Amino acid sequence: MATASITVSETPLVLYTLRRADDALILGHRLSEWCGHAPMLEEDMALANIALDLLGQARELYSYAARVENKGHDEDKFAYLRDVRQYRNLLLLEQPNGDFARTMVRQVFYSVFADLYWRAMMKSDDPTLAAIAAKSEKESAYHVRHSSEWIVRLGDGTEESHRRAQTAIDDLWAFTGEMFAVDDGERGLIDAGIAIDAATLHDQWLKTVSDVVREATLTLPKNDWMQQGGRSGSHSEYLGHLLSELQSLQRTFPGAAW
């Protein structure tokens, strides 16, 4: 790689904002990988649309992180010039697309969470985060509906689609716990009224996901062991490969613009 990574001053608010920005960017990028490959034209458009919403959210969040950090960074530097260990997204969202069922299971797990999260964040005492939340919750409501309908179609579809959807649920389940984890830095922001306690969203998330999965004639795993690490930069092997593609242009031609 030709260009060095930036060094980020991760104050609690910068880190908090980057975590949410990275979630949106990485999932948006994953969904964009379907462009031209989705099972049908309507779905190609839907996945690209959802990716676009997420990319828009990521841009607002990165721009805000840059203003808070005040070190001359901007949205592009955060996206293109941080290495894998500097990324703070959930492990769930960097998992490869796999088959269509896996993409949709990942999507419903995250969208149901994001919808609850952004709705709660509308009450944040931080006016910028509250404004981004008000924008994002409207979009996430569509993402929930779209992915939920697909889970039902796949689960309650053919034997093959049922099997694939159930396998995806079983494989991705261990990555869902990280969404509700809160560390000390976030605790301070929660006490200050800036952040919300994600752990409080778990019951409602589980209820909505269970309803969808039951409707789809699928089942949630019983095991409750959960994998964590993305929030502190310990990623699965997949993120580095994703970033090498995402960042190759800016790393090779620093500052390239069009």
Partner 1 sequence: MVAVLSDSDLRQRAWDAAATVVDPEIPVLTIADLGVLRDVQVHDGRIEVAITPTYSGCPAMNMIILEIELALERAGFARPTVRTILSPAWTTDWMSEDGRNKLRKYGIAPPQASSSRRALFGDQQVACPQCGSDNTEVLSEFGSTSCKALWRCKSCREPFDYFKCH
Residues near partner 1 (CB under 8 A) are: 42-43, 45-46, 48-50, 52-57, 59-60, 127-128, 130-132, 134-136, 138-139, 141-142, 144-146, 148-149, 152, 208, 211-212, 215
Question: What's the CA gap between 113 and 134, in Å, rounded?
Answer: 15
Number of H helices and number of E strands within the chain? 10, 0
- The neighbour count for residue 24, using CB atoms within 10 Å, is 26
* Alpha-carbon span 23 to 25, nearest angstrom: 6
Q: List the end-to-end C-alpha distance of the chain, in Å, as a whole number.
A: 21
* Residue keyed to tokens 């896996």: 102
Dist CA 124 CA 137 (whole Å): 13
Count of other CB atoms within 10 angstroms of residue 125? 11
DSSP for 107-143 reads: HHHHHHHHHHHHHHHTT-SSHHHHHHHHHHHHHHHHH
* Cβ contact 85:98 at 8 Å: no
In the complex with partner 1, the residue whose CB is nearer, 183 or 211, is 211
Q: Supply the minimum distance, in Å, between the C-beta of residue 207 and partner 1.
A: 12
Which residue number, 131 or 190, has a Cβ lying nearer to partner 1? 131
Residue closer to partner 1 by CB (options 54, 169) is 54
Of 10 and 149, which CB lies nearer to partner 1 in the complex structure? 149
AA identity, residue 87: Y
The C-alpha atoms of residue 20 and residue 23 are separated, in whole angstroms, by: 5
CB nearer to partner 1: pick between 124 and 176: 124
Q: 84 or 154, CB closer to partner 1?
A: 154
Measure the CA–CA gap between 228 and 198, rounded to whole angstroms: 15
Kindly tell me which of 1 and 35 has the beta carbon lying closer to partner 1.
35
